[in-house]
Amino acid sequence: MSSIDEIKTRLKKNWYEFVNANNKRFTNKVIDGSSPPSLFVGEYGYPHVRVGPMVPPYHGDTSILDNPELWLGKSLEEIVNYRINLLKGTMIHNVSKISDRYIESLQDMALSKRAVDSTMTFEKIPSQYLNEMVLSKSDLEEIPTVFSAPVSDFKIYPSTSDEKIEKKYYDGDLLASDAVVELYDNNVDITRIAKVLSIGMLGRKKNRKLVPTKWSITAADDIVSMNLLKKIKDNSVLDCYLVFDFNHLGNYYSIIFIPDDVWNFEMIESWIDTNGRVHIGSDYESGKNIDHYPSIAGAYFAARLAATEYLFKKRKKSSVLILREIHPEYFMSLGVWQIREAIRESLKWKGKKFETFDSALKYGVSKTSLSANEWIKNSSIMRNKKQKRISDYLN
């Protein structure tokens, strides 16, 4: 297995090779290529944010470059190499002004079923913006890109639209939350739903605006999972404790389903740094949606979506406890998609059944390097279970 330093060295080498291979193109203000399709809305400076397309400097089927649903099983190195290929063009824009040609071109691109041929015109020659790539956890939500520069124009060429998305786009009376749920129910990937929500294509016409990419991903996960919770509340209670485990990209997961008539959900994350120090964060909800923005941010909603999907499919209800342990080899955050897809993949397999919470917890914890006591002292669900046992004994 390659060391972290070896992977970083190879990634930088790949970046320099990419720059050198496209050196002539980077000396021209105009660059054309096939966008996956991919776009970005920033949050810095809100409500005046950077928004724009992400386009590789070549044509063809580039869908893999921005399709997280296809990345499970890929290495961190492979995923970052996909992102190296995308050039991000940006223009500062008021989030409420979505009727000009630039935003409409981005919306047309987001409607496309496949990669879209497009042309970006940069304010300056792109080679002036090429910097050494940075490989760090600078942002816990975004999938990294390397090149970013201001554009003065963006054009796309005609492409076949996705009729499911197009229908919601032209429905100016439908609430954004209802549009998100209906697209999900029509088997549109959550990543695509988040994109069209981000670029101001959903909701009542008068209320539409740009939504920063991070916020739109969280919103889509939150809206869909809350809708699924409404659907499963009358299901029968799970008849045993179930534990699933999975690991990829230096992330280790234990997912524990707890028979319960009342919905409780908790996710605990532990980060192990390169010095072996452990940092823990957790968030919890009981009976209703969480009443604050989670300390573990969008990871919470991505995990909750995967868990509620499982219960909906099985026609059951329960509480859910998720343990996530992050090892140093996950040295660059790739976005919350990897949490959602890892848990989805784990839940495709047969979970281990247990008769008691203690035995289920013991097994779940055994898949991590932390002790049970470390997890327990950071868990509301575990403390509540312990208190309930004491109360039952006293009674």
Lowest mean pLDDT among 24-28, 37-41, 120-124: 24-28
Measured distance CA(375)–CA(379) in Å, rounded = 6
Specify the pLDDT at position 16. Answer: 85
Lowest mean pLDDT among 2-11, 50-59, 93-102, 284-293: 2-11
Per-residue b/e over 146-163, b at no fewer than 16 CB within 10 Å? bbbbebebbebeebeebe
Q: Is the pLDDT of residue 29 over 90?
A: yes
Give the pair of three-digit tokens for residue 95.
Answer: 């989030």
Residue type at position 142: E
Is 193 within 8 Å of 181 (Cβ atoms)? no
Mean pLDDT of 181-208: 98
Is 341 within 8 Å of 71 (Cβ atoms)? yes
Q: What pairing do the DSSP bridges indicate for beta strands 87-94 and 48-55?
A: antiparallel
Distance of CA 349 to the CA centre of its chain: 22
**pLDDT tens by residue, 128-160:** 777 655 555 444 444 556 688 899 999 999 899
Specify the pLDDT at position 132. Answer: 54
Specify the pLDDT at position 139. Answer: 45
Of 171, 176, 129, 175, nearest to 150 by C-alpha is 129
Measured distance CA(126)–CA(40) in Å, rounded = 18
Mean pLDDT of 313-328: 97
Residue 248 vs residues 290, 331, 365: alpha-carbon distances, Å: 27, 13, 17
Specify the pLDDT at position 130. Answer: 73
Measured distance CA(120)–CA(88) in Å, rounded = 9
Specify the pLDDT at position 143. Answer: 52
Opening angle at CA 62, ends 27 and 144, nearest 5: 70
The residues spanned by each domain of the chain are 4-162, 170-232, 236-394
Specify the pLDDT at position 332. Answer: 86
**pLDDT tens by residue, 75-108:** 999 999 998 899 999 999 999 999 999 999 999 9
Specify the pLDDT at position 243. Answer: 98
Beta-ladder partners of 149: 89
Higher pLDDT, 383 or 329: 329
Give the pair of three-digit tokens for residue 377.
Answer: 């002292």
Cis bond before residue 126 (omega within 30° of 0): no
* Cβ-Cβ contacts under 8 Å for 312 (sequence gap 6 or more): 228, 231, 232
Which DSSP string do the residues of 96-126 spell out, in sequence order?
Answer: T---SHHHHHHHHHHHBSS-EEEEEEESS-G
Specify the pLDDT at position 104. Answer: 96
pTM of the model: 0.93
Instruction: Kindly report each contact of residues 351-357 with a partner whose C-beta sits within 8 Å and lies 24 or more positions away, as own/partner.
Output: 351/242, 351/243, 351/244, 351/255, 351/257, 352/242, 352/243, 352/244, 353/240, 353/241, 353/242, 354/240, 354/241, 354/242, 354/243, 355/240, 355/241, 356/241, 357/241, 357/258, 357/385
